[in-house]
Structure 1
Amino acid sequence: MKISNETKVGILATVAIVLLFIGYSFLKGNDVFSSDNTFYTTYTAVDGLTPSKPVLVNGYQIGRVSKMILQADGKIKTEFKIHSHYDIPKNTIARISSTDLLGSKAIVFEMGNSKELAKDGDFLASGVQPNIMDKVEPIQKRIETITIKLDSTLSVVNTVLDKQFQDDFKRSIHSISTSLKNVEGITKDVEGLVGDEKGRLNRIMANLESITSNFSQNGEKINAIMSNLNNITDKAARLDFEHTMNKVNAAVNDFQEITGKINSGKGSIGLLLNDEALYNNLNNASKEMDNLMKDVKEKPGKYIKLSIFGKKGEK
């Protein structure tokens, strides 16, 4: 039996419509071939979450966001379809999280411990992953205060006779200021950090903040030491001071170079997170700076004329 062209066209059109429907449903987060449970939650802000984004448990996808509706109170009612063979405890938290360095969003289920299971149509508790900016903001707030201290220190550096050390120290001060400004720029692009990546960045930021805090809190002592550097009779103390400042200079310069590349579009935040040498150098420089400032406080007489502090120091 011969099939007419009209029949063939009709069949193809029907198949095309079915495929279009299936594809459209999939993009909306609906799977027409499976039986899913529907759950809901509400968010005050969705931070880039859209329908069809995955729902994950420990990185494994168990469903998709199917619908989002802005309500009259400004909150966003979010619907997600979860494969019916997964049991979801009633006290599970549906948290908006970032899944990569580009800021892609997903719902991550933090599975509860309740023996009572959520039923189809139930509302779950909601949450949003903390913004990485909250971790970096304390550094940004200190930029102006630290810069004032650094400018004061630079004015004293000009009196140091050792030209090479003078130049190195100036570069270190300048690098810290530049690095802080670079951090202010790249934080807009690293909100997607999660897990180990986020922890590593926090440790890098903590080391940088420790260094800048020491410059800020001990500015007067550092100025006094710089003014008296060539008169320090304890050669070991002078060498320790110069060695620490040189190490700080090298570590901060490396940090500035990498953050500068990221800001100019020549690399991603991965450059910062995966540079083992930079991570170790910043960590070591931070520790040595802490130890140096502790020694200066405990034994000021090793580094500076006693009259500067207005009291008799330890010899």
Structure 2
Amino acid sequence: MLKLSNETKVGILTVLGITLLVLGFNLLKGKSLFSHNRTIYAVYKQVNGLQPSNAVQVNGLVVGTVSKLDVMNNDPSRILVSITLTKDLDIPRNSIARITSDLLGVKTVQVDLGNAKEYLQNNDTIYAGVDGSFTDALKQQLNPLVTKLQGTLSHIDTVLLTVTAILDTTAKGNLQDAIRHLSVTMNNLSHTTASLNGMLDPNKGNVQATFNNLASITGNLKDNNAKISGILDNAKKTTDALANGNIEKTLLQLQQTVNSLNATMAKLNSTDGTVGLMLNDKKVYNNLQYSLGNLNKLLEDLRVNPKRYVHFSLFGKKDKTKPLPSDSVTAQ
């Protein structure tokens, strides 16, 4: 059996270590020494932090890795990205390699397949594209809001300046007076509310007393329902009797009586009849008064001197005539 020296063993271990180191480094860079890989290139103006070993995906499937990034001709606006494809697949020539990132900021080259009939070969160049980062998208969404906010703040500033210009010393005094009047109004409203609460008190409020009185009245009406029904029946009987009676004949007779009375009053007021002359002719009245006066004198004389009118004497002596008393001189 071959016996190896210690120096040989150290040398073999050193070679194996170096080999494993190279293989591990290439594996970390996404290279495989035991498979047939293809390399394609893409030129970007910016790579948004893309690093070697970042994944290359097609429709979410990892098909390779980013192997190297170089600056072309010392021009920082042209960055050459080498893409190693570890899977054997056909990529149309009009496909686009876009640099994207997720919410955690991990960069990925996403290959959007085209519809060309020709396919990329080894060392060909693919079209490059860069998606905006999450921050860029957020900025893009916030920029219109920032613009609107700036306009709103400008309008608010204008309104505040206008309000400041309006609220001078006089306006401030008027505003204070208005606030004081508002305070007085609120106090009056509080008193009114308290009064309403007192009126609506279920124990001693006016509204409750009114309802109690109304309930008492309705109770009395209910208790006297029979009496009210009797009164209504009597009223109905009376109206029925009036309706059934010969009211038209009675009213006709009453009308005739009124007409006769009017005719009588007309005759009394006129000077054609005796009564009318007595009532309306002053001369007849005076003559009547004069006749009554004379009749009164005659009666008075008959009372005082009865023998003047009746002669009765046993001896034929004629009595002496007496004058009329003084109280009977004036005749009414």
User: TM-score, with normalisation over the residues of structure 2?
Assistant: 0.43
Q: Which has the higher contact order (CA 8 A, sep 6+)?
A: 1
User: TM-score, with normalisation over the residues of structure 1?
Assistant: 0.45
Quick check: which has more Rg, 1 or 2?
A: 2
